[in-house]
A and B are shown apart, each in its own frame.
Chain A
Amino acid sequence: MPVIFINGEAVETGEHRTVLQAALANGFYVPHFCWHPELSIVGNCRVCVVEQEGRGVNIACNMPVVDGMRVQTDSEPVRAQRKAMLQFILLNHPVDCGICDKAGECTLQDYHYAYNGEPALSQDPKLHSTKFYPLSDRIILDNERCILCSRCVRFTREVSQSNVLGIEYRGDSALVRPAEDRTLDDDPYSDNVIDICPVGALLSRSFLYQARAWYLEPTPSVCPGCARGCTVQLWHRKPEWRVKGLDPRHNTRILRVTPLENPRVNGPWICNKGRDLGGALERPRAEVAMLKGEPVTTTRAIEAARELIRASGRRVALVSSGGSNEELRAFHSALVANFTTFVKPDHLPQDGEVVEDDLLIRADKNPNTRAARSLFGDSPTEISADTELVLVWGEGADFGAFPRGAKIVLLGSWLAPENGYADVFIPLSIQTERRGHYTNFQGVVSAFEPCCWRPDGVIDAETLFPLLAAPPGSTA
C-alpha cells in the first residue's frame, strides 16, 4: 500500500487512488467542485489544487498517488491559486445568495469565505444569462449561478443514463442545456442533480422559496416507495424555527426529501418518487375510529374488533407489506394463531411509473415484502367462501373479492371509502410518526425515525396487535 505525506503526515492509501481521495479519507479537506465520488473525473473547476514537492501546484482530483510523494494542501501558492480560481468563478456569478435556495448549503459560498473573501477584482459589469430555464416540471436552471462543473451532465450520462443534459456553446457563453426535444422529466432520477449541484443553479420547483436551509433539520428515514428501501432524510423545520400561529401540521411538514448516502442500498441517490414522499404523506389522514361508518373512540373500536375476532369462525388476515419489522413481528406473535394469514401488496405500480430498472427502482412497490413473507409465507391469497372475518391491515385489498356476509376489520391510516364500509375501522400511525425498520429486497435492514406528532386517536400497529389478541373486556 502506498504511503504518501500530506502536510508532513504519513498517510496510507489504497492503490489507484488520487491525492484528493487520500486526503479526504484521512481528514485533510481539499476544496472541490467538479469532483464527485460517484462520477468520472473531469478536473475542470481547478479548485482542488495541492502543491506537490518538486512538481508545483496541480489539481488533486486527477493526481494519482505515488508511494512516498509529499503534498501540501494549504501552502501559500495553493491558497493563491484557489483564491484566483474563486475570483474567476465569481467574475460573472450573480452572488445573489440572499435569494438563493442553496444558501447555507453552497460550497461556493463556503470556499469564498475560506479562500477569497475579498471584493471583486473586476469593476466591469457581469455577463447575464438565463435566470429561470425550465428543465422539467420539477427542476429549473439558473444559468447565472452555474459554475459549469458538469456534475449534472455527467450524472445523466453516467448514473441515470438518460443523457438529457449537455453543455452548449463555448467559453464563458457555455450553458447547461437539455438535449433537443428532451426534458429532465425523461429522467426518473433527475432530482439528484439538485443535490450534487455545488451551487444554487439547479432548483427544485417544489422546494423553491419554501425555507432557508438553516431553518431545517433532517430525520433519517427509509423510502417506502419500493422494495429498494432507499435511505433518505426527511427535512422539516427545526422546533425553534416553527412559526407561531401556523397550523402545527404546517410546521411539521416534510419540505424536502434527500438521499442519505448508504453504500449497501442506494449509494448517494434516490429516485424522484422518493423525493415526493413528503407530498405522499400529506394525503388526508384517517384519524377517527369507526363502526360501520359511525365515529367511535379508538378504545371502543378495539373492543368491537376483539369481539368480532372471538365470535367468528373462519378468519383470514391480509397483512401489510408496508408494516415495519417490529409491527410484523407483533402481529405474528399476537395474532397469527387466530388467522389464516396472507401477505398483501399495499401498492402496485401506477400508470406511467417506472416499473423497474437497473439502478434502484424495483417492481415491488412496497418496502417490507421480504420481511412479511419471511414471517407469513408467500402463498397467494385465498379467501374461502365460508370465511367469516377478514382483517385487512393496510391498503390495496379488493373488498369486492371478500365473501358476502364476512365481517371486515380494517386497520389503515388514510381516508378512504372502505373505512366507512368496514365493520370496524381503526386508524393507524404512519411511518413518520413512529420508529421502526424495513428489510429491503436484498435483506438489508434500515431504520426510520419519527419526525411528526401522532394525531390523537391514532394508534401504532405495534401497540394495537397485542390489544386485539387480549380477551374481550381487558383495558385497552
Chain B
Amino acid sequence: MTGRKVLMDFEVTADSHTLAAYRARGGYRALAKALQTMRPRDVTQEVVDSGIQGRGGAAFPAGRKWQGIDPDDGQPHYLIANADEGEPGTFKDRWVLEFDPHALLESMLLASYALGVRHAFVYIRGEYDRPWRRLDAAVEEAYAEGLFGENILGSGFACDLFVFRGAGAYVCGEASSLLGSIEGTRAYPRNRPPRMTVRGLYQAPTVVNNVETLASVAWIVRNGARAFREIGTEKSPGTRLISVSGHIRKPGVYEVELGYSWAKFLHEDCGGLLCNKALKAVIPGGISSAVLTGKDAKVLTAGEVEDLTLDHEKLRAAGSSLGSGGMIVIAEGTCMVRLLQIMLRFYHHESCGQCTPCREGTGWMHRVIDRIVAGQGRPEDIDTLYHVARFNDGTTICGLGDAAGYAATAMLDNFRDEFEYFIEHRHSKFGGNLECR
C-alpha cells in the first residue's frame, strides 16, 4: 500500500473508463459545482492553494502557472494537456488516458473555465494507440452529453476540445515545441522569453500542463485544496503516479503518496529486485533526471536511495528530481558504460538539431561512447565527455541538451572507474551486461 490515493482510488474493470462509471464514482460533480458556485478565479485559487506541482518533470507549481493568465483580458487563451509522454522509462500518464480519461476531461473543463479557454487541446503521442482510442471515445461520450460545446450544463460556459496526435518525436513533447506541432510547423522548442502564458499557441496566452497534473484538478475542486494538502508532505502535496521499470519484480504504474519511503516502495510494493540482485542505481524520474546511485546500499543496509523518501524536496536535496515519474531500477552487475551508450544514442537520435551545442554535442558524445564500447576508447575521452556536457548545460534552447549532458556527467561522476576500466582494458568490467542474470 503506497499511501492515500487521488487518481487510482477505484478498481479498474472492463468499463471503469467509461462516462457512466466515472459518473458513478462522483465524476463531473466538480464541474457542476464550479460552474454553479465558483467564479473562474476561485477555481484557479483552489489549485494555487492545493500547492500541486507539475507532474511532467519540472515540478513548477501549477497554480502559479495558471495565474500567469488573466482570464478577463479579452484575448483568446489556450489550454493544452501534454500527453506526449516520451521520456524514456515513463509511462504513467498512459494509465490516466487509458483507465480514467474522464478525469482528464473534467479537469480540462475546469481549467478552461478558470483560464477563460474556449478551445482546449490534448496533444497525445502518436505511439499511444489504445490510450488515444480510449481518450477519443471519452471525448465523444462527453460531447454527446453536452459536456463540451456551447452552454455546458446550462451555465453559458462554452468549450471545445481537440485531440491532436503527434507523429512521434521526443522533442514534440517539450511544451513549447508542441505548439509548433499543433500550428503545423516543425516542432522546434522555442526560446523564452516570452513565456507561454504570455505568447503561446497561435501567439495567444497558453497553459500547457502534464496529463497527471491536470487530471488531479477535478479531485482538488471536488474535495477542496485542504483535503489535497493533507495528502503528501508539506512541500510536496498530493500523490505521484510512478512508472517503474528495469530490474524489478513488479514493474508497472503505481500511485505513491509523496513522502513515501523509497525502500518500502522498491522492496515491498514493487517486489524487490530481479534475480535477488542488490541495487546498483536508480534513475528516479525518466532518463533526463540525474541518476542516483545505490552503491552505498551495497555496503550499508541503508544507502543513498534506501534512506530517501519520494518527494520533491528530498530528491532535490539529493541532487535529483522526481522528474517525469519514470523510475528505472538498475541492479548490480549492469554495465554503466553500455547504459550510457544507450542513453546517448537516444539523445543523439532525438535532438531536434536546432541549437548548436545539442545538435553537435549529442552526436559527439554518442560517437565517443560508441568508440569506447567498441574498444577504441582513449584516456582523454572522459574529459571530452565532461567538456561537451559542460557546454550543453544551460546553453541550449530546451532541456534535451542539458539532459544529455547530465546523463554523461552523472554516470561519469558515479561510475568513473567503469569507464576507465573499459578504456584501459578495451572491454567492460561487467561483460557489457545490461540484463540482470
Contact = CB atoms under 8 A, between A and B. Distances in A.
Contacts of B355: 43-46
A85 B394 CA distance: 13
A170 B367 contact: no
Do most interface residues of chain A lie in helix, strand or loop, or is the interface mixed?
Answer: loop
Contact of A88 (B169, B356, B367, B371): B356
Nearest to B370: A124
Contacts of B359: 88, 148, 171-172, 174
Contact of A85 (B169, B356, B371): B356
* Residue of B353, B357, B360, B394 ringed by the most chain A CB atoms within 10 A: B360
B186 A122 contact: no
A121 B385 CA distance: 11
A89 B191 contact: no
Interface in A30-45: 41-45
Interface stretch (B8-16, B203-211, B343-351): B343-351
B357 A172 contact: no
A153 B334 CA distance: 45
Interface string B325-355: 0000000000000000000000011111111
B360 to A, nearest CB: 4
Given A85-B356, A89-B360, A124-B368, A46 B350 contact: no
Contact of B362 (A46, A49, A127, A171): A171
Contacts of B169: 170
B151 interface: no
B356 A81 contact: no
A172 B83 CA distance: 27
A143 to B, nearest CB: 12
A460 B113 CA distance: 76
A170 B356 contact: no
B276 interface: no
Nearest to A90: B360
State the majority secondary structure of interface residues on B: helix
Nearest to B361: A88
Contacts, number: 97
A60 to B, nearest CB: 12
A54 to B, nearest CB: 15
A350 interface: no
A413 interface: no
A45 B348 contact: no
B349 A85 contact: no
Given A46-B357, A88-B391, A171 B397 contact: no
A62 B191 contact: yes
Contact of A43 (B186, B362, B397): B397
B387 interface: yes
Interface in B245-293: none
B382 to A, nearest CB: 13
Interface string A131-154: 000000000000000011010000
Given A124-B368, A127-B363, A170-B349, A47 B356 contact: yes
Nearest to B193: A64
Contacts of B394: 56-57
A442 to B, nearest CB: 32
A169 interface: yes
Nearest to A127: B363
B345 to A, nearest CB: 11
Contacts of A47: 356
Interface string B356-389: 1111111110011001000000100000100100
B84 to A, nearest CB: 16
B67 interface: no
13 contacts: A44-B356, A44-B397, A45-B355, A46-B355, A49-B395, A81-B391, A84-B391, A85-B391, A88-B360, A88-B361, A170-B169, A170-B352, A171-B351
A-B interface, 3 closest residue pairs, ranked by CB to CB distance from nearest: A174-B353, A84-B391, A171-B351
Interface of B: 169, 171, 186, 188, 191, 193, 348-364, 367-368, 371, 378, 384, 387, 390-391, 394-397
Given A47-B356, A148-B353, 17 more contacts: A43-B397, A44-B356, A45-B356, A57-B395, A81-B395, A84-B391, A85-B391, A88-B360, A88-B361, A122-B364, A124-B368, A148-B354, A148-B359, A170-B171, A171-B348, A171-B350, A172-B360
